[in-house]
Amino acid sequence: MKFEHRAIPIVLVAVLIDVIGFGIVMPVLPGLVTSLGHVKLDAAADIAGWMSAAFALAGFFAGPVLGNLGDRYGRRPVLIVSMCAFAIDYALMSAAPTLAWLFVGRIIAGAAGATFGPAAAVIADVTPPEKRSAAFGMIGMAFGLGFILGPALGGISAGLGLRAPFVIAAICAGLNAIIMFFFLPETLAQENRRPFRLRDAHIIGAFRPLFHAGNAAPLLLAWFLWQLAGTVYPTTWAFWAAIRFGWDANAIGWSLAYVGLLTGLVQGFLTGRVIGRIGERNAALLALACASVTLFAYALTQQGWQVYAFFLIGAFGAFAYPALNGILSRMVDATRQGALQGGIASMNNVTMILGPLIASQALARGTRHGFDGAAFLVAGGLMAGAALIIALFVPAIRPGAAEPGSE
């Protein structure tokens, strides 16, 4: 595989290790929350939703700050500091004696931010606008591979105890920081840096340039609904699978690994070709439609094997991130790519505040009333809404053409 710049494979490895660290703890989280909280699975899902909301609330305020710091001081220091904070977070969670400690760890991680925003800014720095969608697809491929390895390792290492995956995740995050310290070059040129202003370091300031480019509002709303729907997976998947199918940590881990495998294959081998052929808007529509159909199917499925069958359709939802991000990144200039990605991260964190609460409440309440698929039914509706907005309000763009207002 040919890369536009030597920084790209390094940030892809950073994303990979980050996702391994995140995914490795997912299979054991239900057991840890039920153990520390002395509650049943439906109540544990509710608690996990509030935990995700705490993570996201911290990230909502920190995301634009980190993005603007990246536009001032460069991507490299922001990425390294973030990974050090994640290592501390997982170490705290590995030793957490109470649920309150788990919440503290999640708040630290939320404030530090994840690698996706800065990694996307690195790619935007070194990739021509017409090639960014395919390059953003490589981030998705790294995410998919991480989701193969992470949950599988989580399920396997759960045999060593509920805390073992958190220790491994802390080591992964620390290794990530070391790799970037020694090998990641700075990609933000001095002439593209701009002063840090606290008044711009918030979500409105990050998105202000987009509204001068045109077509921003429907794109951002569609992104918001897409992300809101997507929170159903990290928030409720492990709990839902345990409730509906009786799966243990090992079975949950392998199901997530399967999701990661298909996502990685789609991102790695189809994204560039499909977007190049049908354009970013149509690729986004295809992705959102497939994702919506799959979510509705999960709400109704009764057999574990059907999960694997339906995700053969859902995997095409992986086109959404590179397609939408590719359009948005061409709507701002080189000096504000970090702010854009920070703003997107902050908006994602809004969805991570609201989404887990919606999904976990839907799962808990639906389960109590005899329908444990309610969370996926709600998510499918949100995903369909995002597709409808793109279809009605985002104009078609010829593949390779510039976004209106970007010049």
> Can you give the pLDDT at residue 297?
96
> Can you give the pLDDT at residue 404?
41
> Can you give the pLDDT at residue 401?
43
pLDDT at 330 exceeding the cut of 80? no
> Can you give the pLDDT at residue 399?
43
Nearest to 317 by CA among 300, 332, 302, 297: 297
pLDDT at 120 exceeding the cut of 90? no
pLDDT at 402 exceeding the cut of 50? no
pLDDT at 400 exceeding the cut of 70? no
Which of 16-20, 112-116, 272-276, 282-286 is most confident? 282-286
Nearest to 124 by CA among 35, 42, 192, 52: 192
Pairwise CA distance, residues 30 & 267, whole Å: 29
Higher pLDDT, 300 or 357: 300
What is the pLDDT averaged over residues 56-69?
Answer: 76
Predicted TM-score (pTM) of the model is 0.68
Over the chain, what is the mean pLDDT?
Answer: 82
Pairwise CA distance, residues 102 & 292, whole Å: 32
How far, in Å, are 133, 280, 327, 338, 396 from residue 400 at the CA level? 10, 9, 11, 23, 12
> Can you give the pLDDT at residue 16?
82
pLDDT at 157 exceeding the cut of 60? yes
What is the pLDDT averaged over residues 284-290?
Answer: 96
> Can you give the pLDDT at residue 142?
79
Which of 200-204, 253-257, 293-297 is most confident? 293-297
Tokens, residue 311: 């995700």
pLDDT at 337 exceeding the cut of 60? yes
Nearest to 220 by CA among 132, 343, 114, 339: 343
pLDDT at 374 exceeding the cut of 90? yes
Assign 406 a pLDDT band (cuts: 50, 70, 90): very low
pLDDT at 368 exceeding the cut of 80? yes
Please state which of the ranges 17-21, 325-329, 353-357, 385-389 shows the lowest mean pLDDT.
17-21
> Can you give the pLDDT at residue 338?
67
**What pLDDT, in 10s, does the model give residues 184-240?**
899 888 888 888 777 666 666 666 666 655 567 888 899 999 999 998 987 888 889
Share of the chain above pLDDT 70, in %: 88
> Can you give the pLDDT at residue 381?
97
